């Protein structure tokens, strides 16, 4: 016979076990609610209650035209500490490890870890380091250091780092360092883009932050939505050409003693910038020293509307003789002169009461228009502007060439240059004479490039640009080249190109490249100061393009304050020559004779290097 | 006694279900954290790769291997029948937002007992009287 009390005993036992489990849970709940870690849990609860969180999307990447990454995102980590998880041992060991790994003072770290944060109502702190003048910045570590610290946290044999947390945060990185730094611009720690492409396309690259409901409690966990990422940009720049141009510029500065300079290379057929070498360079990975050198504060720049930092689009200068290309283009296009039109150079001309002389002070006698350009005669060009064109026609042409107006290039900080026309209250007739040879008028390098680019491109002026395509989640958008205007006819452009090619072959042999017919013009500009023009320093420049029968590139070289010689023909033209010799190889442009031969055979541009 | 036992069993069952749900939620949080970490690693690797293939480094490596930059006079141009220049580079598309398609889990994973009861009591949407 079965014992009748047995089932009851089993039920009692089961009941006891369940009651014990419930009691255990109640004890645990009391411990969580009122125990020593209660403030920590309370903080978590507060955090969990704030379930709405703004998530920043990944910033768009920037590539060059061949797919080389120019700007990317990496992770850096903030070091945070759960103060209630610290022990006396972990305080010392965290301070010791960080002190050695990051070369920071042990005492400062230990003092932060040993402070009574609980009494201040803080249970999680971010470790900081001392920077100049008493300011403290959060300590950040890179991926390598973070991996080491994570390894320590997981290894029981490693130093005790209990309480240390690594909090990731995105950071912008430019793998090429200072290469094309001025074009790229930079991004500050808050993720805002400044200057260059980063500044101009900041809104597109940054994407749209999204507010999401975030569940920190496991029961409330759900799949978090990703905010729409920023678009990726493909630039028109070619990193290899950019590297070559920056190398050539660095060597030019070294050999001429110039204090600054630029080499800009553009495809005149579509306005694509192939390279923008600018010295001194800007390293976007480490932009603070650059800002210090410029005497700029990031906080001020955030409020400034048009900060000038990229000399290619923001640095105005009086162009000097390179500007004569535009004056001659106007005179030819208006049918006032022809290449063979004669001019007797007496060495001086008076315009508006100002006596204008040639660069060497001499009289060059009878000259054709080709001779005027070949010998870069100020008197001849001033005569063209004052006696032939007149102010109305002359300034109409300059306006058509975009002088005094920003090109609209997609880089932050562009300025429009300065052109005083007869409508300007301070304009005088003397301006007509000096403007004709590039004095009393200021342009930016990219503005000059665009204007002269019209001569290279059959009279059609295209907007320079650095972004080739915008790639978003929906696909790629390839903007069409923007035509800024047609300041001169195609016939005028071809005639002037021929004249400049002839003058280049004759006078400026430093710019000659074997096998290729090129056109170009030197420039030696005086630098205006508050007390008139600087007597010692000049800006030497050269603008040229080629091959003249099918221009594929236009190159502007500018050297500021060269020491070895003030003349563009001596210091800037050889740089143009060196750049073009490398450029025709990199762009796979066969010599003129080979192209003519191929054309005779009916072969298009389907050639391959061997 | 039996009622208490039944209540305890129901409570235990409910706790068990909730515990499993919490574990699933924990696993989801862990997976999200792991996904974020992997995305960070991908970005870091992209950056490392980009650094290693920068023109100046490639040029230096090519020089180490005995190559020299080609000069104008070194180049001979020949016609290659059918040669097509390489297609322009197209960057990968950035990830699109998954907020509409994948922003929430199916109710099968999130519906509570109360939700289920409410759904039973509430008349079906679109049902004809």
**Chain B: closest CA distance from residue A493 (Å):** 28
Give yes or no for B22 touching A (CB within 8 A): yes
Helix (H) or strand (E) holding A592: helix A592-600
- List the domain boundaries for chain A: 5-49, 73-174, 239-284+316-600
Instruction: Please give the model's pTM, rounded to 2 decimal places.
Output: 0.83
Q: Does domain A239-284+316-600 have CATH number 3.20.20.150?
A: no
Q: Which residue of A has its CA nearest to B20?
A: A219
- Long-range CB contacts (within 8 A, 24+) of A585-590: A585/A609, A585/B69, A585/B70, A585/B71, A585/B72, A585/B75, A586/A238, A586/A240, A586/A241, A586/A244, A587/A241, A587/A552, A587/A553, A589/A516, A589/A547, A589/A552, A590/B77
* C-alpha closest to that of B97 among A476, A474, A233: A474
**Chain B: closest CA distance from residue A125 (Å):** 21
**Chain A: closest CA distance from residue B43 (Å):** 6
- Cα A323 from Cα A343, distance rounded (Å): 19
Q: What is the ipTM of this complex?
A: 0.74
- Name the token pair of A245: 């141009």
Q: Across the interface, do B105 and A69 touch by the CB < 8 Å criterion?
A: no
**Chain A: closest CA distance from residue B79 (Å):** 5
Among A203-207, A250-254, A285-289, the minimum mean pLDDT is found in: A285-289
Q: pLDDT, tens digit, for every residue of A140-186?
A: 898 888 888 888 888 888 888 888 988 888 889 999 999 999 999 99
* C-alpha closest to that of A310 among A274, A268, A279: A279
Contact yes or no for A73/B45 (Cβ under 8 A):
no
Would you tell me how many other CB atoms lie within 10 Å of the CB of residue B76? 9
**Chain A: closest CA distance from residue B120 (Å):** 23
Compare A101 and A273 and report the one with higher pLDDT.
A273
Alpha helices of A257-375 — where are they, by DSSP H?
A: 288-294, 298-303, 311-314, 324-333, 369-374
Task: Give residues 124 to 183 of A whose Cβ lies within 8 Å of B.
Answer: 143, 168, 173, 175-177, 179
Would you tell me how many other CB atoms lie within 10 Å of the CB of residue A429? 13
Task: Give residues 223 to 252 of A whose Cβ lies within 8 Å of B.
Answer: 223-234, 239-240, 242-243
Q: Taking every pair of C-alpha atoms in chain B, what is the biggest distance, in angstroms?
A: 103
Residue B96 makes CB contacts below 8 A (sequence gap 6+) with: A228, A229, A473, A474
Would you tell me how many other CB atoms lie within 10 Å of the CB of residue B120? 8
- Alpha-carbon torsion, ordered B66, B71, B76, B78, to 10 deg: 90
Q: Across the interface, do A607 and B18 touch by the CB < 8 Å criterion?
A: no
**pLDDT at residue B106, as a whole number:** 66
Give phi and psi for A584, each to the nearest 5: -65, -30
Give yes or no for B71 touching A (CB within 8 A): yes
Q: Across the interface, do A475 and B40 touch by the CB < 8 Å criterion?
A: no
Give yes or no for A594 touching B (CB within 8 A): yes
Q: Across the interface, do B83 and A606 touch by the CB < 8 Å criterion?
A: yes
Q: pLDDT, tens digit, for every residue of A75-109?
A: 889 999 988 888 888 899 999 999 998 899 999 99
Q: Which residue of A has its CA nearest to B1?
A: A11
Would you call A376 helix, strand, or coil by DSSP? Answer: coil
A168: nearest CB among B40, B46, B76: B40
Compare A229 and A519 and report the one with higher pLDDT.
A519
Would you tell me how many other CB atoms lie within 10 Å of the CB of residue A104? 16
Which residues on A lie below 8 Å from B105 (Cβ)? 222-223
Give yes or no for A608 touching B (CB within 8 A): yes
**pLDDT at residue B100, as a whole number:** 43
B51: nearest CB among A61, A65, A175: A175
Q: Please say if the pLDDT value at position B85 is more than 90.
A: no
Q: Please say if the pLDDT value at position A189 is more than 90.
A: no
Q: Does domain A73-174 have CATH number 3.30.70?
A: yes
Which residues on B lie below 8 Å from A230 (Cβ)? 94
DSSP code at position A412: B
Task: Give residues 56 to 75 of A whose Cβ lies within 8 Å of B.
Answer: 58, 60-61, 63, 65-70, 72-75
Q: pLDDT, tens digit, for every residue of A300-324?
A: 666 665 555 788 998 899 999 999 9
Q: Across the interface, do A610 and B75 touch by the CB < 8 Å criterion?
A: yes
User: What band does A1 get if pLDDT is binned at 50, 70 and 90?
Assistant: very low
- Cα A147 from Cα A365, distance rounded (Å): 77
**pLDDT at residue A3, as a whole number:** 59
């Amino acid at each position: 016979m079965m014992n009748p009390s047995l089932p009851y005993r089993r039920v009692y036992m089961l009941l006891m076990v369940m009651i014990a489990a419930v009691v255990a849970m109640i004890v645990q709940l009391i411990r969580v609610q009122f125990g020593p870690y209660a403030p920590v849990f309370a903080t978590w609860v507060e955090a969990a209650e704030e379930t709405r969180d703004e998530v920043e999307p990944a910033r768009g990447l920037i590539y060059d035209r061949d797919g080389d990454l120019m700007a990317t995102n990496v992770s850096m980590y903030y070091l945070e500490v759960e103060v209630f998880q610290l022990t006396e041992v972990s305080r010392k060991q965290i301070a010791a490890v960080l002190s050695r790994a990051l070369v920071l003072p042990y005492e400062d770290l230990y003092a932060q870890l040993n402070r009574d944060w609980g009494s201040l109502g803080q249970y999680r702190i971010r470790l900081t380091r001392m920077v100049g003048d008493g300011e403290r910045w959060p300590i950040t570590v890179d991926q390598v250091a973070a991996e080491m610290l994570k390894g320590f946290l997981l290894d029981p044999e490693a130093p005790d780092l209990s309480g240390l947390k690594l909090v990731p945060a995105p950071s912008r990185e430019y793998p090429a360092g200072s290469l094309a730094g001025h074009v790229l611009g930079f991004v500050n720690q808050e993720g805002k883009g400044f200057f260059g492409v980063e500044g101009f396309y900041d809104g597109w690259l940054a994407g749209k932050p999204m507010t999401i409901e975030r569940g920190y409690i496991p029961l409330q966990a759900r799949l978090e939505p990703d905010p729409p990422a920023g678009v990726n940009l493909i630039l028109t720049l070619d990193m290899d050409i950019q590297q070559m141009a920056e190398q050539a510029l660095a060597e030019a500065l070294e050999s001429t003693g110039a204090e600054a300079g630029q080499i800009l290379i553009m495809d005149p057929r579509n306005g694509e910038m192939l390279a923008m070498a600018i010295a001194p360079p800007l390293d976007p990975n480490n932009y603070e020293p650059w800002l210090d050198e410029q005497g700029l504060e990031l906080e001020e720049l955030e409020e400034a509307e048009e900060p000038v930092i990229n000399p290619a689009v923001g640095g105005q200068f009086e162009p000097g003789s390179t500007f004569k290309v535009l004056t001659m283009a106007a005179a030819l296009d208006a049918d006032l002169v022809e290449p063979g039109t004669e001019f007797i150079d007496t060495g001086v001309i008076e315009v508006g009461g100002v006596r204008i002389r040639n660069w060497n002070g001499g009289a060059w006698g009878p000259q054709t228009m080709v001779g005027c350009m070949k010998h870069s005669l100020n008197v001849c060009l001033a005569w063209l502007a004052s006696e032939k064109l007149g102010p109305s026609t002359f300034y109409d042409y300059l306006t058509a060439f975009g002088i005094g107006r920003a090109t609209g290039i997609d880089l932050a900080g562009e300025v429009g240059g300065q052109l005083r026309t007869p409508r300007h209250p301070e304009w005088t007739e003397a301006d007509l004479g000096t403007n004709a040879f590039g004095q009393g008028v200021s342009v930016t390098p990219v503005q000059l490039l665009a204007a002269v680019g019209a001569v290279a491109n059959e009279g059609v002026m295209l907007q320079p640009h650095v972004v080739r395509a915008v790639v978003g989640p929906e696909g790629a958008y390839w903007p069409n080249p923007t035509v800024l205007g047609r300041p001169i006819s195609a016939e005028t452009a071809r005639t002037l190109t021929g004249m400049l090619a002839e003058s280049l072959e004759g006078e400026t042999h430093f710019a000659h490249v074997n096998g290729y017919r090129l056109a170009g013009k030197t420039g030696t500009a005086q630098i205006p100061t508050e007390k008139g023009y600087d007597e010692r320093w000049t800006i030497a420049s050269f603008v040229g393009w080629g091959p003249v029968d099918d221009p594929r590139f236009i190159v502007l070289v500018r050297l500021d304050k060269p020491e070895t010689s003030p003349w563009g023909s001596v210091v800037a033209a050889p740089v143009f020559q060196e750049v073009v010799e490398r450029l025709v190889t990199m762009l796979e442009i066969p010599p003129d004779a080979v192209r003519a031969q191929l054309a005779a055979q009916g072969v298009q541009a389907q050639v391959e290097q061997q | 006694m039996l009622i208490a036992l039944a209540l305890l069993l129901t409570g235990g069952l409910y706790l068990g279900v909730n515990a499993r749900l919490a574990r699933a939620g924990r696993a989801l949080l862990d997976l999200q954290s792991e996904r974020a970490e992997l995305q960070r690693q991908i970005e870091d690797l992209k950056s490392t790769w980009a650094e290693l293939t920068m023109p100046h480094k490639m040029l230096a490596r090519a020089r180490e291997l005995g190559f020299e930059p080609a000069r104008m006079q070194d180049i001979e141009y020949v016609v290659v029948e059918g040669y097509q220049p390489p297609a322009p580079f197209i960057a990968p598309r950035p990830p699109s937002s998954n907020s509409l398609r994948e922003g929430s889990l199916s109710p099968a994973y999130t519906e509570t007992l109360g939700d289920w009861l409410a759904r039973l009591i509430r008349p079906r949407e679109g049902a004809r009287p």
